[in-house]
Structure 1
Amino acid sequence: MNHLNSRFAGPVDFADDSMAGAVLPAGIDGFGAGARYWILGDDALSQNELDKAEQALLDVKALVAAAFLAFVAELTDPNSTTSLFRDVHLEEIPEEMACDLFDVDSREAVTDKVFLDHLRLVGIAISPTATERVLALDFAIGADKPTDQLLVAVWDRNNTVTVHHES
């Protein structure tokens, strides 16, 4: 058995699962308090690979900023993933809930800025040996996550960011 230690989650044990992790009570660097942190791998994962993958998380502020740049760019296209994610929260839940969620008086008051201000980092996943999905930051509307919808910024091995909508 491979004994690994995550600087954020402590001892890592994949046991019979390819995912290990923990809830981060204080988040990382002030982001994602209460976020779930996942490490995807198996017993073949080395401490060096894990350390290298977690190195990027030492500047999570830059990662969150890059994710928001991708979200902002997508909001210019009404058919983009980010725009469709926003629409789910404005059109598919009752108006009263949408107003409470975004702290507004009507759905029409939810501007791009209001929408982005309510995105919260709720999950972080790293896949040290992956090529396509090396790092993922999961965002939800509000800390209480009233829906099971996530807006996910995904980095590949080339450091390219793409946006996904997951539920």
Structure 2
Amino acid sequence: METAVSRHFGEIALTPAGQRVISGRYDHDGVPVDLDLSFGEHDRMDESCIHKVDYRLRFLPELIEAARERITLDLGDSESPAVEYRHFHCQNLNDGKIRELFGVETQDAVDDAAFVRALRLTRVGIFPGQPERYFVLDFTLGEGFTDEVLVAAADEDGVVDDEVSWD
């Protein structure tokens, strides 16, 4: 069986077809982030595809920053999923939890910048067969605090969608 070696996913068996998810890790600012490389039933998985994924992951820091910028923009729209997520997760926190999560003293001090800074990237889904939704980034306020995420997606060129969702 033919294989390809990925910097982020290790040795990968190249199969002709079939749905498959391959797990990997990415170190972002000293914090490990889970990677899920997903192939659909009819997606082509070959060595060039794997090398393309590794190449595009070189630009993940810029993509993460662009996703954070998109979330910040969405916080300006009172009906956006980012605002709903923030409101839902912050409405009943005491000052101690506010300090722990956001690094500020009171709920009133949780401005857009403090909120976005508190978001942690927990997972990046990579979908080589979907060029318009190649990357899917999951941000959370922290494991143990919530299992819900804000989701930002980007195309294969790293252009972030103009829509962030709450999942």
TM-score range relative to shorter protein: 0.7 to 0.9
> 1 CA distance for matches of 2:144 and 2:151?
14
Q: Which residue of 2 aligns with 1:164?
A: 165
Give percent identity, aligned residues only.
26
Q: Which residue of 1 aligns with 2:150?
A: 151
Q: Which residue of 2 aligns with 1:104?
A: 104
Asked if the contact 2:44/2:129 (under 8 Å) is kept, the reply is no
Q: Which residue of 1 aligns with 2:24?
A: 22
Q: Which structure 1 residue ranges, 4+ long, deviate > 6 Å from structure 2?
A: none
Q: Which residue of 2 aligns with 1:64?
A: 64
The question of 1:47 aligning with 2:47 is answered yes
Q: CA deviation at 1:158?
A: 6.4
Stretches of structure 1 that go unaligned for 5 or more consecutive residues are none
Asked if the contact 2:133/2:154 (under 8 Å) is kept, the reply is yes
- The size of the alignment, in residue pairs, is 160
Asked if the contact 2:21/2:36 (under 8 Å) is kept, the reply is yes
> 2 CA distance for matches of 1:153 and 1:74?
11
The question of 1:75 aligning with 2:84 is answered no
Asked if the contact 1:45/1:129 (under 8 Å) is kept, the reply is no
Report the aligned-residue RMSD.
2.7
> 1 CA distance for matches of 2:14 and 2:109?
46
Q: Which residue of 2 aligns with 1:121?
A: 121
Asked if the contact 2:14/2:45 (under 8 Å) is kept, the reply is no
Stretches of structure 2 that go unaligned for 5 or more consecutive residues are none
Q: Which amino acid letter does the alignment assign opposite residue 22 of structure 1?
A: G
> 1 CA distance for matches of 2:14 and 2:82?
33
Q: Which residue of 2 aligns with 1:36?
A: 34
> 2 CA distance for matches of 1:96 and 1:136?
32
TM-score scaled by length of structure 2: 0.80
> 2 CA distance for matches of 1:98 and 1:14?
47
Asked if the contact 2:6/2:51 (under 8 Å) is kept, the reply is yes
